[in-house]
Amino acid sequence: MSKFLNDNLKGLEAYTPGEQPRDKKYIKLNTNESPYPPSPEVVEAVSASEVVDLRLYSDPLCKILKEKLAIRYGVNYENVFVSNGSDESLNFYFMAFCSKEKSVVFPEISYGFYKVFAELYGISYETIPLKADFSIDVSDYIGINKNIVIANPNAPTGLALSLPDIEEIVKSNPENIVLIDEAYVDFGAESAVSLTKKYDNLLVVQTFSKSRSLAGARLGYAIGNAEIIADLEKIKYSTNPYNINRLTLVAGAAAIDSDSYFADNCKRIMETREYTEKELTKLGFYCIPSCSNFIFAKRDTISGEDLYLKLKEKGVLVRHFSTPSICEFNRITIGTQEEMETFIEKVKECLV
Ligand code: PMP
């Protein structure tokens, strides 16, 4: 830390992303990427001529992409915001709508970035414990008169709330914005996008990083009422007007056009998830039932950290969190069927 860093940032604990190792080739099951490549249409869209055009700035309006997203989700152009990864939509939400006076709540066990944004901006925040089975207690969020952020499905548990539950939360907090982070929604949960037409205090955030195989392109979006979206645009134009680069813009537009390709991948990933869950259960693991592209699992006779380290030595990377209430678990991203068969073999080796 330099002596120049602002005092208010000295104690800030930054977000720790999952390992992206370059030392050797791992079966990489640690950061919830898709095991499948982007669609052929996406590969074609990122053409040589688009690369040549990198000398020109990208479209700050992101028109082609917003139009396609609006059609895809049955909303208007003015209801769509696109961002550099969904992390940027989350960042702008905290920046625009939360403060010391306007507090925000989120589950105690959830995506680690929420807390980082809250601390970065000096926002008052409160974390709400999960129930013993790691599910969210909906009643904790009814009529609390605070901003609310919920990942649905939640991470790293993989558990999802139903649409009526989300609606109850949104309806009972009309003076605050409820953000539903749907990074993993395409793997078995119900999206709340339809509710954005009924409630003006709901913002739904999604990403191209998981179900659409574009984690490295950094593309996310938020859908909500036009006034909230205009506020997010204001923040964007006050920080980084060209937040989506040219290659990502065309890749994202092509990805929307190949919706069925990605839907097939999601189906395959969900089938491989069922296989993996069954095999882990046979090996004595407890798996939280997942609606995501990962499984959160533990086994009594081996610590979470031990298993993580042993698997790493064998060339398989999973995600381990040292937070005490979940440190016995590992979060295992669903890879290809073949990768998961190898994973199961390696787990067996770790247990002897
Ligand atoms: N929300 C959740 C719950 C996540 O797990 C992630 C992935 N780390 C993100 C948002 C951010 O994803 P991205 O910025 O790649 O869209």
Last residue of a domain, one of 212, 231, 257: 257
290 and 212 inside one domain: no
Residue-wise pLDDT tens digits, 78-104: 999 999 999 999 999 999 999 999 999
94 and 24 inside one domain: no
- Count the domains in the chain: 2
335 and 346 inside one domain: yes
Among 176, 178, 119, 129, smallest CA distance to 152 is for: 178
134-144 average pLDDT score:
98
Structural domain that includes position 292: 18-36+260-351
Residue-wise pLDDT tens digits, 249-304: 999 999 999 999 999 999 999 999 999 999 999 999 999 999 999 999 999 999 99
Q: Is the CB of 84 under 6 A from ligand 1?
A: no
Please give the model's pTM, rounded to 2 decimal places.
0.97
Atom 6 of ligand 1: nearest residue by CA position: 183
205 and 336 inside one domain: no
How many whole angstroms from 301 Cα to the centroid of ligand 1? 31
Q: Is residue 1 part of a domain?
A: no
Q: Which atom of ligand 1 is nearest to the CA of 88?
A: 14
Please report which confidence band the pLDDT of residue 72 belongs to, taking 50, 70 and 90 as the band edges. very high
How many whole angstroms from 87 Cα to the centroid of ligand 1? 6
Q: Is the CB of 156 under 6 A from ligand 1?
A: no
Structure confidence at residue 22 (pLDDT): 87
Please report which confidence band the pLDDT of residue 176 belongs to, taking 50, 70 and 90 as the band edges. very high
Last residue of a domain, one of 257, 282, 316: 257
Q: Is the CB of 87 under 6 A from ligand 1?
A: yes
Q: Does position 13 have pLDDT exceeding 90, yes or no?
A: yes
Last residue of a domain, one of 257, 275, 298: 257
Q: Is the CB of 152 under 6 A from ligand 1?
A: no
Q: Is the CB of 207 under 6 A from ligand 1?
A: yes
Please report which confidence band the pLDDT of residue 24 belongs to, taking 50, 70 and 90 as the band edges. confident
| Three-class DSSP category at 167 | helix
Structure confidence at residue 23 (pLDDT): 85
62 and 141 inside one domain: yes
Q: Is the CB of 181 under 6 A from ligand 1?
A: yes
78 and 225 inside one domain: yes
Strands (DSSP E) contained in the chain are: 27-29, 80-83, 104-107, 125-128, 147-151, 178-181, 202-207, 220-224, 286-288, 294-298, 316-318, 330-333
CA dist 299 and 307 (Å) reads 9
Structure confidence at residue 17 (pLDDT): 93
